[in-house]
Amino acid sequence: MAGVAIFVFSACSEETKETVALKYNKETVPTIDTDSATILISDSGIVRYKLVAKTYQILDKASNPHWYFPDGAYLEQFDPFLRPQATVKADTAWNYTRQKYWRLKGHVHIKTIEGKELKTDELVWNVETRTISSDSYFEYLNPGETILKGIGFKTNEQMSWFSTSKPDGGYYYAPDDTENTAVNDTIQSR
């Protein structure tokens, strides 16, 4: 009996361990990777945004931590009573959490409850300053008032003011005027 116990013990002590060399790139490998995400984002305890994405990745160990939405993102902005105020769509999105800005790329479309629309291929939304900007071609529509096209712009989240560096075809439409006139004072050239 004692011989059997020694045999089992010695068999276990001769166990070999194998290791596999694994290279982890924290810049490209997400710590969280999920499908079909719906995220509610609050500010001071009040839900302000709903984000829907087919694919959602968090790269919080990267040198510039961020959320990544490779298959596009759809965002709704709410007022304090949870009424939709604006929608934002893009083919690809990044949320740089430490620097507090979003980068949207590919068929970016913003529409407010007032009917204002902004279309561009790429933009940056600075969460701290509450501004939106781009160096790309854009089209801005404020129904009944302004149509503006050009390259490069800066505006606030409500799009109540708008500045552009290279306007191309901006017009102001007065509701009771049938002729186009110069771009109004709220649109400035840089």
CATH code for the domain in which residue 184 is found: 2.60.450.10
Could you tell me if residue 6 is inside a domain? no
- Mean pLDDT estimate for the chain: 84
Mean pLDDT to the nearest integer, 43-54? 93
pLDDT in tens, 141-179: 988 887 889 999 999 988 888 888 888 865 555 454 444
Q: Which of 7-16, 73-82, 162-171 has the lowest mean pLDDT?
A: 7-16
Full DSSP string of the chain: -HHHHHHHHHHHHT-----------TTTS-SEEEEEEEEEEEETTEEEEEEEEEEEEEETTSSS-EEEETT-EEEEEE-TT--EEEEEEESEEEEETTTTEEEEEEEEEEEETT--EEEEEEEEEETTTTEEEEEEEEEEEETTTEEEEEEEEEEETT-SSEEEEEE-S-EE--TT--S-BPPPTTEEE-
Is the pLDDT assigned to residue 12 strictly greater than 90?
Answer: no
Domain that includes residue 169, residue range: 26-189
Q: Is residue 3 part of a domain?
A: no
